[in-house]
Amino acid sequence: MKHFKITTESSRLSARDIAENFDDLHPSLDGAKAITEAARCLYCYDAPCMNACPTHIDIPKFIHQIRSGNLDGSAHTILSENIMGGACARACPTEILCEEVCVVHHTEGASVKIGELQRHAVDHLMDEGGAHPFMRGPLSGCTLAVIGAGPAGLSFAHRAAMLGHDVVLFEAKPKAGGLNEYGLAGYKMANDFAQTEVEFLLAIGGVRIEHGKVLGDNLSLDDLRTAYDAVFIGAGLTAARGLGVDGEHFAGVGDALEFIENVRRTEDKSSIPVGDDVVVIGGGNTAIDAAVQAKCLGARNVTLVYRRGPDAMTATQWERDLATANGVIIRYWAAPKAFSGGANVERAAFAAMRIDNGKLTPSGDSFELPADMVLKAIGQTLDSAIFGNLKLEGGKIDVNEQYQTSLPGVFAGGDCIKSGEDLTVQAVEDGKQAAIEADNMLREKLKGAAE
């Protein structure tokens, strides 16, 4: 467990301390350690880890390839199922995916470090900087439009390009990568990895990105449907939820994702303003990323407040441990009631909560925390207004098993669809599968036209 430099009673962080805090969270495995770790893998048949991975990477095979010294082959095995295997190796909550079901846990008490091994193989291939490992198939003459250059859109674009189609990605922000670029803690994507990966992925060719294109502003779904052979929506969830409590308007009360984005965009981390008493509201990995980064920036007190108990928290145990090991206090069973202050927020009031007849209800007790910075990490929602007459389900885009939306020729995947799981690795899988489905559809169409 990494221990960051944190502010203590007697000292505050220097600019150098802060910069070091944003170095790589996990040191990369060196060659000898990787081989020793790889040797722990049992090479299971129809392996549980492989089935637990949303992208179904052949994990026993890639680990065997590390062991045999075929590192490029290992990376190829990973990337052929998950082109963002590098980001996933860094950001995946492996403790609830592949590593949770690794059977070596039963024989040795600890799972094979699949994520670290994956990173070892993929980093090796990317660091070599050779030719892109995948070839494009025969060109189809089709051009596909993608809304959003996040993990889902990039994965879709790469697979579609591989299958012979040209792709134009439309992205609102100045950089591609989506949450990998803007929504994860800096130490998880150190050394500008998100951009390195985007460049790597685009090297397949046939993919162009247009930045500053915002759906509902200078981009319309109808126009894209007319101009392109197919459209993929990987727009994510862009509307911030509100708490709906008094004082949310105070300066210092903000959205955790915006805070994280600001941290990621700022070169000199020591210039980022951070409070002395930071309160983070929420129970997911974004809440943890915000809280721990606040500590990394030098916040004196950081309290994460979650309205339910530990069992309901979606942040993984590993993430929680990282937070508590670095001085973040986690308080369960408390919901924000109001914020108060002067020019800036000064206090946050909470109602203690409990489960009553299966329902989350205030217990009657309340408390206040000093707060000069409040970060809301209570999830994002779909900005439904921009999708026109696209059918939604439960506030998200409705797709069938082929990732097709209610509009012909329009596919969707990632966080914006109803099965969206809030995981990079799921978004990559959605994009990959949607590209395969779009390809099937286009080939049927081309065949029909030819007959």
Partner 1 sequence: MSDLGCIIGGVESINPFWLASAPPSDKKYNVERAFQAGWGGAVWKTLGVDPPVVNVTSRYGVHRTHDRRIIGINNIELISDRPLDINLREIEEMRREWPDRVIIGSIMAPIDEEAWKSLAIKVANSGVQGIELNLGCPHGMCERGMGSAVGQAPALVEQTTRWVREVVDIPVFTKLTPNVTDIIIPAAAAKAGGAHAVSLINTVNSVIGVDLNNMTPTPTVDGRGTHGGYCGEAVKPIALHMTAEIARQPETQGLEISAIGGITTWRDAAEFIALGAGAVQVCTAAMLYGFRIVEDMNEGLAAFMRDKGYRSIADFKGKATAQTVDWNELNINHDLKARIDDEACIECGRCFIACEDTAHQAIRIDAKNDGGRKFTVVDDECVGCNLCMHVCPVKDCITMEAVDTDRPYLTWPEHPKNPLRKVAE
Per CB under 8 A, residues contacting partner 1 are: 32, 35-36, 38-40, 42-48, 67-68, 103, 106-107
In whole angstroms, what is the distance from residue 136 CA to residue 189 CA?
Answer: 28
In the complex with partner 1, which residue's Cβ is closer, 32 or 131?
32
Helix (H) or strand (E) holding 393: strand 392-393
In the complex with partner 1, which residue's Cβ is closer, 31 or 137?
31
Q: What angle do CA 394, 400, 405 make, to 5 degrees?
A: 75
Q: Least CB distance from residue 108 to partner 1, whole Å?
A: 9
Amino acid at position 56, single letter: H
Helix (H) or strand (E) holding 412: strand 410-412
In the complex with partner 1, which residue's Cβ is closer, 47 or 204?
47
In the complex with partner 1, which residue's Cβ is closer, 101 or 338?
101
DSSP string, 56-91: ---HHHHHHHHHTT-HHHHHHHHHHH-TTHHHHHHH
Tokens of 87: 């980001």
Q: Least CB distance from residue 426 to partner 1, whole Å?
A: 19
In the complex with partner 1, which residue's Cβ is closer, 1 or 45?
45
- Residue 433 CB contacts under 8 Å (≥ 6 apart), including other chains: 403, 413
Distance of CA 219 to the CA centre of its chain: 25
Q: Least CB distance from residue 124 to partner 1, whole Å?
A: 18
In whole angstroms, what is the distance from residue 190 CA to residue 182 CA?
Answer: 12
Q: Least CB distance from residue 32 to partner 1, whole Å?
A: 8
In the complex with partner 1, which residue's Cβ is closer, 36 or 271?
36
Amino acid at position 306, single letter: Y
Which pairing describes strands 329-331 and 334-341: parallel, antiparallel, or unpaired? unpaired
CA-closest candidate to residue 148, choices 162, 167, 133, 125: 167
Q: How many CB atoms lie within 10 A of CB 437?
A: 20
Q: Least CB distance from residue 316 to partner 1, whole Å?
A: 20
Tokens of 150: 């996040």
Q: Least CB distance from residue 286 to partner 1, whole Å?
A: 29
In the complex with partner 1, which residue's Cβ is closer, 43 or 367?
43
Helix (H) or strand (E) holding 208: strand 207-211
Q: Least CB distance from residue 64 to partner 1, whole Å?
A: 9
In the complex with partner 1, which residue's Cβ is closer, 12 or 105?
105
Q: Least CB distance from residue 47 to partner 1, whole Å?
A: 7
Amino acid at position 408, single letter: P
In whole angstroms, what is the distance from residue 277 CA to residue 344 CA?
Answer: 12
In the complex with partner 1, which residue's Cβ is closer, 42 or 392?
42
Q: Least CB distance from residue 33 to partner 1, whole Å?
A: 11
Q: Least CB distance from residue 98 to partner 1, whole Å?
A: 14
The end-to-end CA distance of the chain, in Å, is 62
SS3 string of 139-152?
CCCCEEEEECCCHH
In the complex with partner 1, which residue's Cβ is closer, 117 or 279?
117
Q: Least CB distance from residue 384 to partner 1, whole Å?
A: 35
Q: How many CB atoms lie within 10 A of CB 325?
A: 13
For 225-370, strand residue ranges (E) read 230-233, 239-240, 253-255, 277-281, 301-305, 329-331, 334-341, 345-356, 359-370
Tokens of 43: 């090479």
In the complex with partner 1, which residue's Cβ is closer, 19 or 35?
35
Q: What angle do CA 129, 132, 136 make, to 5 degrees?
A: 170
Q: Sign of the C-alpha dihedral, residues 58, 60, 61, 67?
A: positive
